[in-house]
Amino acid sequence: MTGVDDRYRVVRLLDEDELGRVWLAEDEVLWRWVTLRELADGLPIGSAVARLPAMKIYNAVVWSERSWIVMEFVARPALSIGRAAVPSPGS
């Protein structure tokens, strides 16, 4: 997977749960990290949003016959190096 909606460059898979897959991505328009949630087949966007924890939701798109929710990325410190384990946007 390389991109979503001709705007979000997918970097790596972060997690997978009953709602679908969660990806780290870079917003190539605003140059910021975002979390992309690729929804499980048949799950309506509204139902998924209602089940998400409180966080900023930037966008919701249908791309390549899949539903996606674009959310704020909250970096967690890497245990081994003590800083965010993601590169700077644009690098």
For the chain, the C-alpha Rg in angstroms (whole number) is: 13
- The more confidently predicted of residues 91 and 55 is 55
Please, which residues have CB within 8 angstroms of residue 20's CB and are 6 or more apart in sequence?
A: 37, 38, 39, 40, 43, 48
Domain residue limits, the chain? 3-72
Residue-wise pLDDT tens digits, 1-21 = 678 988 999 999 999 999 999
- CATH architecture of the domain with residue range 3-72: 2-Layer Sandwich (3.30)
pTM of the model: 0.78
